[in-house]
Amino acid sequence: MDFFRIGEKLISKQKIETMVEKILRLRSEGFSQQEVAQRLNVDRTFISRLEGIGEVRKGSRVAVVGFPIQNTEEITAVLKEAGVDYQLIWTEAQRQQFIRDKDGPQLLADFLQKVTEVREYDVVVILGSQYRIRVTEAMLDREVVGMVIGETPITEDVYVDPGELRQLLQNLVRAKRKP
């Protein structure tokens, strides 16, 4: 268990995580913020702020970037079915081809062009390692939703579960439709 000493208090990270999970579970089951607050004896405003912290901003345009992906055709079909506006799904060979035969300045220019293209979208889904997801969040300075497909460095094509990706995209679309 992780504990943090703050002044005279000893804080349990596990206790906080358990409470957050209870709040989110009850909210996803349809209970109002006020009902959850009363049930768990917390302030309603805390629940509101918690939801605000974790909210994935709902924009009208979604981009998905992922590599190295083994089942690119299957994933591309899922993205097309979901109405994803921009997709950059590569195998390791395609990623290497992007890098190959370019000098440093040209590689940097092409990379920055891809970053510029992705920055045009409201929500960016990254299929990659936790490290790649964090770097992308920092580079794009916008809402990034990560789907971890392996540990850094990922050097071989990874099979991505189309059902898991479909569910993630459906949740994003569902969130966009809610007022």
Q: What is the CATH number of the domain that holds 113?
A: 3.40.50
Shared domain for 94 and 171, answered yes or no, is yes
Q: What digits encode the pLDDT tens for the residues 55-69? A: 654 456 899 999 999
Shared domain for 41 and 69, answered yes or no, is no
Domain limit, last residue, from 53, 70, 94: 53
Do 86 and 121 touch, CB atoms closer than 8 A?
A: yes
Q: What are the tokens at 12?
A: 């349990």
pTM for the model = 0.66
| Amino acid letter, 153 | P
What φ, ψ does residue 59 adopt, rounded to 5°? -110, 170
DSSP states along 73-110: HHHHHHHHHHT-SEEEE--HHHHHHHHTT--HHHHHHH
Shared domain for 170 and 116, answered yes or no, is yes
Residue 22: give the domain boundaries.
3-53
Q: What digits encode the pLDDT tens for the residues 50-101? A: 988 886 544 568 999 999 999 999 999 999 999 898 999 999 999 999 999 8
CATH number of the domain bearing residue 40 = 1.10.10
What is the C-alpha separation between 145 and 65, in angstroms, rounded?
A: 10
How many domains would you assign to the chain?
Answer: 2
Shared domain for 71 and 119, answered yes or no, is yes
